[in-house]
Structure 1
Amino acid sequence: MEPSGSNISSSSNHTLNSTGGSGPWEITDKARLCRFLCYGSEGDVYTARDEGRVSMDNAEALRSMLQEGRGAEVVEEIKRFLQDGRAVRPGPSFFALAVCSQHTDTNTRQAAFKALKEVCRDPAHLFSFIQYKKELKEGMKCGIWGRGLRRAVSDWYNEQDPMSLAAAVTKCKRREGWSHQDLLRLAHTKPAKDAIALISKYVKKGWKEVQAAYAEKENPEEVVKVLSYLEVVEKVKHSCDETEVVNLIEEHKLEREQLRTDYLKSKQVWRALLKEMPLPSVLRILGKMTSNKILEPGSSETQTICDRIQSEAALKKAKIHPFSILLASENYKRGQGFQGKTKWDPDSSILKALDVAFYKSFMNVEPVGKRFVVAVDVSTSLSSVVPGMSISTAVAAAAITMIFARTEADTQVLVYSEGAVVPCSISADMTLADTTVELVKIPSGSTDCTLPITWATENGKSVDMFIILTNNPLWMFAVSPVESLKKHRQASGANSKLMMCGLTSIGHAIAETDDRGLLSICGFDLGALTVIRNVAQDLI
């Protein structure tokens, strides 16, 4: 057995598929673009938790499609990936839209600017898009603030609901070196409504100017509402009365971004913020809240948080994925943050609530409806930790296995080691602990990552997607995984794909291949599940 090849991707768009001809396994420019929009690279390797900034160096397919006059198609794909939740992270989509908005083709530019509001849903997105345009300026030899961008940015502000915009500009004032004041000034924005004009004046001139301009006037109802809201934000900003601040937070549903940082030392303020805080944000700060004694054992605040975490309605509304709950639980259980000196004693009732929420949140996983084989390599110890997480590879493998076994009707779970493949019966009523034990029953030894594919072929199983989970730093194959997959496709008639998940890997591919049905995942995170879903549905 030999280790797999390095991560080398051919730039050719005309490849042979597994049956010897050009067809469904061809890696086209469209496929490369979709990979880029999904995880920021055109290659066949997804690296978990990689937040690297994208550039034209890894967007050749984007450039190629624009040169072929397919700009409108690119813009539609950008919109689709963000709106349908196909993108692991949004940065590549903002970058691609920025490139389209600076292209020489008029139709492409117009399509990009028209899509701005749909793609950039909040100020942070808009600032990111503008910053990418600034970074592209030199390489694309073009300006930024032409008529098209000025109109698009002006429309972005003018088409917002005034109350939503008032909240947005007070929560996210500046990002990536840009502010609302910069954008409104450079876009020469002419407000389309009285309430937008009020917000524009507030952003550019400040609260005192607004007071002077509107205090003595008979204002329309919409202006009065915005004016009252901004007055509350200003009052909170300058108040020294903790009780007043708490009351204003509760009455007007203010968020922590709208408060002075010194208020965030107050337990009463945090208790007020927690009441309306989105559930994903609550899960991220459980440790901090326990450390600061805001969530204390047996307190009413702790009980309220536990009730929210376990609430099916709250979990459904926030669309919380079970893997997100697992990560929150494991992070909380470890009793200290990854950075800084924050430490806490995990509260047993919170841990119990997270455990209940984990199983309830499976209702949020929408089935793909494909035939899956999830195979876990137990040839090495599964006690190591997935990079960047406080979760062992054994627990990660068990959770991944459960996600598919509980949500996909046709899922076969296997464990393999030392030339042996053993089917596992992972039932819907098994706990995470039960599943973990089931996966580590057979002895360890050397391994071959193509064994599950060979097993399926020899046992007459038709499989749409093989998900191979391994803890081995080097991926071992007795025969090429491409050849193994080709044999299975020919024997079963299925359009089979292979996802090779190296739970502790730092960035290598399955093999040198131009087969679109093979991708590698290095490490693991929630984004990896999005990648698997996209591949299963032929979206990347």
Structure 2
Amino acid sequence: MEPPANSTNNHTSAEDPWEITDKIRLRRFLCYGSEGDIFTAKGESHVSVDNAEALLSLLQEEEGGAEVVEEIRRFVQKGLAVRLGPTFFALALCSQHSKLNTRKAAFKALKDICSDPAHLFAVIQYKKELRERMECGIWGRALRKAVSDWYNKQDAMALAATVTRCRQREGWSHKDLLRLSHTKPSTEAVALISKYVTKGWTEVQAYYADKENSDEVVKVLSYLEAVEKVKHSCDETVVINLIEEHKLEMEQLLTENLKSKQVWRSLLKDMPLHSVLKILGRMTANKVLEPGSSTTQSLCERIRDEAALKKAKIHPFSILLATENYKRGHGYMGKPKWEPNKSILKALESAFYCSFMIFTRTEADTHVLVFSERAVVPCPLSPQMTLAEVTAELVKNPSGNTDSSLPITWAMENGKGVDVFIILTNNPLWTCTTSPVESLKKYRQTTGASSKLVFCGLTSYGHAFTDTGDRGLLNVSGFDLGALTVIRNFSQDLI
């Protein structure tokens, strides 16, 4: 696989270009919560100081704090982090460090990194957990200012939506944060939202009833009134009108409202695509999405829309998972049950190929091999193939055990220049004729290529190599969308 032109070369050591530096360990920690070379799908996202040695080491350097905060910002904003927990932990740690410049950098970046209230609550909780170990307080002047800025520097309507959609997480609420930060609202609209959060709707109504309000305040009042009405209304027509007029979301509705098919049909119109994919089965089981209905037709058009897919940044693997879950016809533990809708399945298939951006469809020069009878055999796949055609081609050869050194040997014997060897298998490791690590080193020496090796056990939780100290080796245990992100980051020399 050819790395992109703008990839970062992190060969920091003239003596050993494959040395795993503290910066690489930090990036791996920010990506998937571990400094090691093993990524485990669906692993634990909660982290602690005990597995952040590189982070602590870098923070001791002269300009280490600012550089660490910039790495955190980059991994969050560019979607490089598989799990966000480690990034929030790292930011919390920086914000409580002994160096003033590190703390300043962390607080300055808080709003950029914590784009959602759940992110902010997570950072505050990590700060609380770190307090005893680091023997420091939480609510100093710097944090109070950073939290105040988080509220004050947002668009008023966006803030009104976010505080009513995500009211509390991690044991913290907006009321807690506004009170503890001593936030002084910067605008009338933010003052209104703050009063609503801390005092409640009744007091807001009384306070603003006889005032001459600005247009922005009027808009926020109208929105909050809609949120309050929908919280107390069981009238289906009223709820639907409020949803459509104010673009309300399901998190703002009563559980009782979500029993209505018409309410769900209204919610689906503006629901983010990634959320839609998660509830297709439920909506089919509840007869919200019926064969031939206008709601179903409209939804299928959205799923097939290339521009919508691109805007929502829907990965093809997410669509593939949604398709397989929908085909299954039942949810977790068998409930609910549904008959998969053919038009929805066709729309999902169309969306999958529309957004297909991985491996052979991404790379102009890719060799696909299959393990077969203690050898590897070229498999003629092309970007034009359908998933069914790819599957049929892959099973033509008798399956064989996984000897991780064979693809490297094949490349050397056939004079192929390879940037990244990616081995995907659901078989246990077979005793290799040659160590894959030694095979890779020999290949590098012979060809002069800066080649890497990824071993991905699709269903097993083993690994091909351990503690090699070679930055060009990566183990992936299990497979999910996060695994694809990790492999991409690794291939592009980011971790």
Which interval holds the TM-score relative to the shorter structure?
A: over 0.9
1:195 pairs with 2:220 = no
Counterpart in the other structure of 1:6 = none
The 5 Å alignment of 1:246-395 reads: 246-339=240-333, 341-362=335-356, 365=357
Query: What is the identity percentage for the equivalent residue pairs of Structure 1 and Structure 2?
Result: 73
Contact in 2 for aligned 1:461/1:492 (Cα 8 Å): no
Counterpart in the other structure of 1:524 = 479
Counterpart in the other structure of 1:43 = 36
Contact in 2 for aligned 1:32/1:61 (Cα 8 Å): yes
Shift of residue 404 of structure 1?
1.0
For residues 489 and 140 of structure 1, the distance between their equivalents in structure 2, rounded to whole angstroms, comes to 45
Question: SS of 1:506's equivalent?
Answer: coil
Shift of residue 340 of structure 1?
6.6
| Counterparts in 2 of 1:447 and 1:221: CA distance versus 1, 3 Å | closer
Question: SS of 1:113's equivalent?
Answer: helix
Contact in 2 for aligned 1:170/1:258 (Cα 8 Å): yes
Counterpart in the other structure of 1:74 = 68
Contact in 2 for aligned 1:47/1:507 (Cα 8 Å): no
For residues 16 and 94 of structure 2, the distance between their equivalents in structure 1, rounded to whole angstroms, comes to 29
| Counterparts in 2 of 1:250 and 1:134: CA distance versus 1, 3 Å | same
1:224 pairs with 2:218 = yes
Q: Pick from 222, 236, 240: which aligns with 1:242? A: 236
Contact in 2 for aligned 1:37/1:87 (Cα 8 Å): yes
Question: SS of 1:145's equivalent?
Answer: coil
List per-residue Cα deviations over 1:344-392 (Å, max 9, x = no partner).
Answer: 1111111111111100112xx3xxxxxxxxxxxxxxxxxxxxxxxxxxx
For residues 430 and 194 of structure 2, the distance between their equivalents in structure 1, rounded to whole angstroms, comes to 57
List per-residue Cα deviations over 1:106-136 (Å, max 9, x = no partner).
Answer: 0000000000000000101101111111111
Shift of residue 226 of structure 1?
0.7
The one-letter amino acid paired with 1:81 is: F
Q: Pick from 88, 93, 98: which aligns with 2:92? A: 98
For residues 100 and 339 of structure 1, the distance between their equivalents in structure 2, rounded to whole angstroms, comes to 43
Shift of residue 153 of structure 1?
0.3
List per-residue Cα deviations over 1:173-195 (Å, max 9, x = no partner).
Answer: 01111000000000011111111
| Counterparts in 2 of 1:509 and 1:210: CA distance versus 1, 3 Å | farther
For residues 16 and 98 of structure 1, the distance between their equivalents in structure 2, rounded to whole angstroms, comes to 28
For residues 16 and 508 of structure 1, the distance between their equivalents in structure 2, rounded to whole angstroms, comes to 27
Question: SS of 1:115's equivalent?
Answer: helix
Shift of residue 493 of structure 1?
1.4
For residues 527 and 476 of structure 1, the distance between their equivalents in structure 2, rounded to whole angstroms, comes to 28
Contact in 2 for aligned 1:271/1:301 (Cα 8 Å): yes
The one-letter amino acid paired with 2:376 is: V
| Counterparts in 2 of 1:22 and 1:476: CA distance versus 1, 3 Å | farther
For residues 378 and 246 of structure 2, the distance between their equivalents in structure 1, rounded to whole angstroms, comes to 56
The one-letter amino acid paired with 1:521 is: V
List per-residue Cα deviations over 1:215-261 (Å, max 9, x = no partner).
Answer: 10001111111111111111111123210110110111100011111
Q: Pick from 463, 473, 476: which aligns with 1:508? A: 463
List per-residue Cα deviations over 1:38-79 (Å, max 9, x = no partner).
Answer: 011001001112243111121110011112241111000000
Counterpart in the other structure of 2:45 = 52
Q: Pick from 121, 131, 141: which aligns with 1:147? A: 141
For residues 448 and 412 of structure 1, the distance between their equivalents in structure 2, rounded to whole angstroms, comes to 17
TM-score calculated relative to the size of structure 2: 0.95
| Counterparts in 2 of 1:339 and 1:408: CA distance versus 1, 3 Å | same
| Counterparts in 2 of 1:443 and 1:150: CA distance versus 1, 3 Å | same
Contact in 2 for aligned 1:16/1:22 (Cα 8 Å): no
Gaps of 5+ in 1: 1-14, 366-402
1:209 pairs with 2:203 = yes
The one-letter amino acid paired with 2:328 is: R
Gaps of 5+ in 2: 1-10
For residues 90 and 252 of structure 1, the distance between their equivalents in structure 2, rounded to whole angstroms, comes to 30
Question: SS of 1:50's equivalent?
Answer: coil
Counterpart in the other structure of 1:469 = 424
Contact in 2 for aligned 1:475/1:510 (Cα 8 Å): no
| Counterparts in 2 of 1:321 and 1:511: CA distance versus 1, 3 Å | same
Counterpart in the other structure of 1:109 = 103
For residues 41 and 409 of structure 1, the distance between their equivalents in structure 2, rounded to whole angstroms, comes to 32
1:164 pairs with 2:158 = yes
List per-residue Cα deviations over 1:260-284 (Å, max 9, x = no partner).
Answer: 1110111111010000000110000
List per-residue Cα deviations over 1:190-226 (Å, max 9, x = no partner).
Answer: 1111110000000000001001111100011111111
List per-residue Cα deviations over 1:150-186 (Å, max 9, x = no partner).
Answer: 1100011010111100000000001111000000000
1:63 pairs with 2:18 = no
For residues 520 and 39 of structure 1, the distance between their equivalents in structure 2, rounded to whole angstroms, comes to 12
Shift of residue 318 of structure 1?
0.7
The one-letter amino acid paired with 2:385 is: M
For residues 256 and 270 of structure 2, the distance between their equivalents in structure 1, rounded to whole angstroms, comes to 20
Counterpart in the other structure of 2:24 = 31
Counterpart in the other structure of 1:437 = 392
